[in-house]
Amino acid sequence: MIRYLLALSTVTTILFLTGCNSKPEATPDYQATKQLVVDILHTEDGKRALTEIMRTPSFKKDIVISNQEMEQTISQVMTRQETQKQLEQLLQKPSVAASIVKSTQKEHEKIMKKLMKDPEYQKMMLELMQDPEFTKHMTQLMKSRAYREQTTKVMEEALESPLFQEKLMKLLQEAIEKNEKKN
């Protein structure tokens, strides 16, 4: 803090002295003063003073973005057409898509668990599954060609899932490593 005060007093004194020179008709030269202040800030004392200022809680408070500002910024960015196109391109990369899925997976699980504990949701699901018409319909559906095609489609989609791809890649790498060790 003393260094900060020393640097601040040095800058103030220099500015005062340049403002109080013996030529009353001369105006202070902006460029010279600016260069002097910049030179002082580039000294070790100036750098330390700036570092101390940046470490103060009040400075950090002014710099840090509030949650509301962050939400607003993200909302604005996500609704732009250019951003949506960039996101689509980014999500084509399995590693990026897997990261996003992993980061939101816990929230999805919480929602599903919350729904499963919801008495109204449970009641609706039980009523649906116990309905004889539903059971009959499900049995017929599973025997149909459309169901088999859909199952194939689901498997193909699973293969396109970033999380599944990542797991599959890990399994393949492990299998290759085991095979190489055996040979």
State pLDDT tens for residues 113-167. Answer: 998 899 999 999 888 888 999 888 888 888 888 888 989 999 888 888 888 888 8
Contact 115, 109 (CB under 8 A): no
Nearest to 41 by CA among 13, 4, 82: 4
CA dihedral sign of residues 155, 161, 163, 169:
positive
**Residue 21 DSSP one-character state:** -
Which ranges of 24-182 does DSSP label H, i.e. alpha helix? 30-41, 44-55, 57-63, 67-79, 81-91, 94-117, 119-130, 132-143, 145-160, 162-182
- Strands (E) in 2-161, as ranges, are none
| Residue 135 CB partners (closer than 8 Å, separation 6+) | 129
* pTM of the predicted structure, to 2 decimals: 0.30
| Residue 87 CB partners (closer than 8 Å, separation 6+) | 78
Joined together, the tokens standing for residue 148 give: 């088999």
Q: Decide which of 60 and 178 is more confident.
A: 178
Contact 106, 100 (CB under 8 A): no
**Per-residue pLDDT for 179 more than 80?**
yes
Q: Decide which of 59 and 7 is more confident.
A: 59
Joined together, the tokens standing for residue 50 give: 């700036």
Q: At what angle do helices 145-160 and 162-182 cross, to 10 degrees?
A: 70
**For 99, how many CA atoms within 13 A lie in the half-sphere containing its CB?**
6
